[in-house]
Each structure stands twice: as C-alpha cells, then as structure tokens.
Amino acid sequence: MNVPVSPLLEVRNLSVFYSGLQVLWDVSLSVDSGEIVTILGANGAGKTTLVQSIFGLVGERHGQVFFGDTDITGLPAYDVVTRGLSLVPEKRELFPKMTVIENLELGGFPRPEKAAGYNEMFALFPILEERKDQLAGTLSGGEQQMLAIARALMARPSMLVLDEPSLGLSPLLVSTVLDAVGTLNQSGLSILLVEQNVQHALEISHRGYILENGRIIREGSSEELLHDDQIRAAYLGI
Ligand code: ATP
C-alpha cells in the first residue's frame, strides 16, 4: 500500500498584488522533506515576491502556505521562523553595524543556547570565526553571503529558503556557496532555492519549477530540466 507523503512546504494557488497590480498568478508548488527544489526564472519573473510571500512579507496575497500540517499563511515572519522555516533574503539584509557574532546571535533568537550554534556555523564557514568580531558591513561579498546563511541556520530550521545566494559573487565563491547548500541538504536540511545560476542550481537540486511572468510554466526533475533543449536555450544560452 502506498502511504501518502505530505510535503514539508506547500504553496497553494498563491496570487500576489502590489498596489492592485498582480505579479503572481495562482502559483502552486511543494517541497518534500529532504529535497532541494529550485525556482528558476528571469529577472522580474516574481521569484523574490514568491519567497517573501511564504514569510508573509508582502501586502495583498491570496492562496495558502502550509509548513508541515500548519497553515502559516497569516503568520508573521518571526513566528514562521520559530516553527522551523528560515529565510536567507536576496541581498543578504545583514545588520552592517553589528559584528559577525551579533548577527549570528540575532539569527538564533528562537534558540535559548547559542554557543553551540556559533561553533556549528564556524565549522561550516571557518572564515566567519576569523572575522567574528568584525562589523558585518566590512566583510567581502562572499563572507557576507556565508554570514547570511549562517544567521538563518542559527534558528535551527528544518527547512531553509535561499533567495539568489550566489548574486554578485565570483565564480569560485558561487561554487563555495552552492556546494555548501548541497552539503547542508545532505545533512538533512530541506531547501527551497531561488537561483539565476541555472546549471549549478539544477546540479545540486532534486526538482525545479520555472516561473515566467508570475506563473509556473514548467516543473520537473532537475535531470529533465537540465536536458531540456528549450530550457537550455532560454536559461543556459546553449
Ligand atoms: P530579480 O531576479 O530581478 O530579483 P524576481 O524574479 O525576484 O526578479 P520580483 O522582485 O519578485 O522578481 O518582482 C516581480 C515583479 O513585481 C516585478 O515586475 C517588480 O517590478 C514588481 N515588484 C516587486 N516588488 C515590488 C514592490 N514592492 N512594489 C511594486 N512592484 C514590485
């Protein structure tokens, strides 16, 4: 007998409006426990809007978002994070005048004992230990991205949502960051990843969705999407 598996994250029929102007149309997607799922799409397709909607960070929104069995649609972002879903926002949104440790401390707000968390983060990104008393605003782009990921992990999430973590990074750092995302997944973390770096993102993920002008136009296994001629032409330029 097949036991139905319910997804860890499920977005149902999400529509979003900015000042009455619709930017997402009836978007539905899911992420199962243990998966990395990638959202691909051109600039302005609505990827960031989708991610922010999951955390209740946009204004007018219709549809539902479930995390496990809980309907999190109306919940404030801090409540969503406390329930085990953490966000690494586009452009990192660090506290630039605070040190690395202070940024980590804030990310760990749902967690009473933070010292163990700092050690886990320093094991994942050793450079952060060297920089722990440095102001976040003075870190390099790559270090800032590592700190943004570590800050989100401090809340001990069961699922991480990353919005374009490789944005603005050198090719070497893109690999460092996306490889770290793959490693986190292998250690059991479920991940929803928004990426423009299509090849690398699909290589580390299980499934993908393509968002175009606010609508999901395609979904499939990463393998299928990577070998699809239309997708290769549109997103990989080959
Ligand atoms: P990018 O890859 O460039 O970050 P994206 O796929 O994340 O793009 P969004 O940032 O979600 O796309 O934007 C989707 C659409 O909504 C765009 O047309 C954008 O101009 C519009 N938009 C985004 N934020 C707002 C806002 N706060 N007010 C009005 N319109 C907005």
The answer to whether 202 touches 32, Cβ cutoff 8 Å, is no
Distance CA 61, CA 136 (A): 33
Confidence (pLDDT) at 190: 96
Closest CA to 9 of 50, 67, 49: 67
151 and 207 fall within a common domain: no
User: Which of residues 122, 138, 157 is at a domain's end?
Assistant: 157
pTM as predicted? 0.91
Is 49 near ligand 1, meaning CB less than 6 Å away? yes
Among the listed ranges 11-15, 96-100, 113-117, 191-195, which one has the minimum average pLDDT value?
Answer: 113-117
**Ligand 1 atom nearest 48 alpha carbon:** 7
Q: What is the CATH number of the domain that holds 169?
A: 3.40.50.300
Structural domain span for residue 151 = 92-157
161 pairs with which residues across the strands?
A: 87, 192
At 1, is the pLDDT very low, low, confident or very high (cuts 50, 70, 90)?
A: very low
105 and 213 fall within a common domain: no
- Read off the DSSP letter of residue 135: B
Confidence (pLDDT) at 237: 64
Is 88 near ligand 1, meaning CB less than 6 Å away? no
132 and 162 fall within a common domain: no
Confidence (pLDDT) at 49: 95
114 and 229 fall within a common domain: no
Distance CA 16, CA 71 (A): 17
Q: What is the mean pLDDT of the chain?
A: 90
Distance 114 CA to ligand 1 centre (A): 35
Mean pLDDT of 63-67: 95
Count of domains in the chain? Answer: 2
pLDDT in tens, 108-139: 777 777 777 888 899 989 999 999 999 999 99
Distance 162 CA to ligand 1 centre (A): 16
Confidence (pLDDT) at 117: 84
The answer to whether 13 touches 28, Cβ cutoff 8 Å, is yes
102 and 52 fall within a common domain: no
In this structure, how many other beta carbons lie within 10 angstroms of the beta carbon of residue 144?
Answer: 21
105 and 80 fall within a common domain: no
Is 18 near ligand 1, meaning CB less than 6 Å away? yes
Mean pLDDT of 17-25: 93
User: Which of residues 124, 140, 157 is at a domain's end?
Assistant: 157
Residue that has been written with the tokens 């070497």 in this structure: 172
